Structure 1
Amino acid sequence: MQLIDIGANLTHDSFDHDRDAVLQRAREAGVTRMVITGASREHSPKALELAQAHPGFLYATAGVHPHHAVEYTAECDAEMRALLAHPEVVAVGECGLDYFRDFAPRPAQRKAFERQLQNAADTGKPLFLHQRDAHDDFVAIMREFEGRIGPAVVHCFTAGKRELFECLDRDWHIGITGWLCDERRGQHLRELVPNIPANRLMVETDAPYLLPRTLKPLPKDRRNEPAFLPHIVEALARDRGEEVAVTADATTATAAAFFRLP
């Protein structure tokens, strides 16, 4: 398999002691390209630095996650725009809304989201989106930018049938993670993934989070990493009733086209 992990938080400090080894294991597992998630003022520049250190293998996003929405000042906006000018930065985000934890006030989340959607409109770069327990507000804000923004992927999709179909009806892409491998929370997702068109489906680990619970043996530190992406693809193929190679090839082609990777 030649796979693209569209969402890996490799700037996370849990990778500081062995990041090069993590990248090597990913290569050996068939992960040929990765998009490193930029989700804050601190980590978006680090994502770009990683991408620049590994040309052709790593790419980056630049954005501010809704958990950090209060940091989205005018100065922060200027920093994000400067990052987005780099060719290694292939998407705006991670941005969106998260009403599940409410780590930032909802008005601040909505304002930060709108400003980043404007960045996408101005740069023409695709969107790497986060939504949890905020679907209706999320759709309403996205609707305000219809016709001005390019492609969008709802990363780490975990919601239900109504939300999935509304996303698909708007031509958004869907990112699937190891949530699919969680027998406690992922059963509904297993039933939904056959409905996602192949040209709208991508895969990601969201490392170091969301370690697939069906992975055997589980790593002692319970840290997820990109080398486990084939396990997610195998689970996805099973639930879609496809050969693994079919799912692998389709998700890779979709990701390469979406992020305009060479």
Structure 2
Amino acid sequence: MNTYIDIGINLTNKQFYNEQDEVINRALDNGVDYMILTGTSVRGSKESADIAQDYPDILFSTAGIHPHDAKSFNDQSIGELRNLLKQDHVVSVGECGLDFDRDFSPRPLQEKCYCAQLELAIQINKPLFLHERSAFKRFTEITEDYLSQLPEAVVHCFTGTLEEAKSYLDKGFYLGFTGAISDEKRFKHLEEVIRYVPLERMMIETDAPFMLPKNISARSQNRRNEPAFLPYVAQTVAQIKKISLTDVAEETTAVARKFFRI
């Protein structure tokens, strides 16, 4: 069986309430040997770290403040994130960045919160788990100011254009892809992105419970997404690139292990 690393799961989401053991075991049964839980607020990052601690060498977590939650950012936030990131199983700073699509937090506050987390990643030298939606220009402007000092970074759940993908690759960033790549109605343009991005700069994720792959059988279509479905993302990459599923599994796993230092 091929083995995989899911670099982004929202296991603290209410859709997984009281089902964490079952969700993790189904993932393991489908070859997803490692999973990284996404922290999207100080509170959520603490919860993710606590869950990951209960599953050593299987679960890991990130610690950060999502742009949607930037309104919760305060003078204590960075200190609390730094303390979490002292733990070995908390492997990355984020999810952090800018989201000008929904603007759940004021843009100036999103920018302040993002800058603070970039500075934190530089200080502690742990990789970045980045989020950008409808904010490419401003996101790039801010990131450029720190680029020479930044540790490695992955733009997760990438759904942007080929030109944006090229820009991120030129900066040395990695790109994370979800089930969106199998959505030929909304994200047909991602086919050319997948063809262009080399496997050695690519990681895969479910972003569960969101981004359910479209290539799952019809009887599963009404289900929420979960890490057990990560192989469907890998299958889509293999089909688009016209390579074997084993090649996708082996390379994306190796990339993620090195990136997150697992």
Same fold (TM over 0.5): yes
Structure-to-structure mapping, 1:97-108, within 5 angstroms: 97-108=98-109
Instruction: Render the CA deviation track for 1:104-159: whole Å, top value 9, x for unaligned.
Output: 11000000000000110000000000000101111111111122111000000000
Structure-to-structure mapping, 1:80-229, within 5 angstroms: 80-219=81-220, 222-229=223-230
Aligned twin of 1:257: 258
Instruction: Render the CA deviation track for 1:173-222: whole Å, top value 9, x for unaligned.
Output: 00000001112112100121111122110000000001112211343753
Letter in structure 2 aligned against 1:110:
E
Aligned twin of 2:34: 33
Change (3 A) 1:35 1:103: same
Runs of 4+ in structure 1 off by over 2 angstroms are 217-222
Distance of 1:42 and 1:219 partners within structure 2 = 32
Distance of 1:11 and 1:223 partners within structure 2 = 14
Q: CA RMSD in A?
A: 1.0
Structure-to-structure mapping, 1:55-74, within 5 angstroms: 55-74=56-75
Aligned twin of 1:232: 233
Distance of 2:99 and 2:220 partners within structure 1 = 29
Instruction: Render the CA deviation track for 1:226-256: whole Å, top value 9, x for unaligned.
Output: 0000011001110111111011100000000
Following superposition, the deviation at residue 42 of structure 1 comes to 1.9
Q: Secondary structure at the match of 2:76?
A: helix
Q: Which ranges in structure 2 are unaligned for 5 or more consecutive residues?
A: none
Contact 2:98–2:132 at 8 Å: present in 1 too? yes
Q: Secondary structure at the match of 1:74?
A: coil
Distance of 2:158 and 2:188 partners within structure 1 = 13
Contact 2:162–2:192 at 8 Å: present in 1 too? no
Distance of 2:219 and 2:109 partners within structure 1 = 38
The aligned length equals 261
Q: Which ranges in structure 1 are unaligned for 5 or more consecutive residues?
A: none
TM-score, normalised to structure 1, is 0.97
Instruction: Render the CA deviation track for 1:22-56: whole Å, top value 9, x for unaligned.
Output: 10000000001011000112210011011100000
Distance of 1:49 and 1:256 partners within structure 2 = 21
What percentage of residue pairs aligned between the two structures are identical?
43
Distance of 1:47 and 1:218 partners within structure 2 = 30
Q: Secondary structure at the match of 2:41?
A: coil
Moved more, 218-227 or 185-194: 218-227
Q: Secondary structure at the match of 1:168?
A: helix
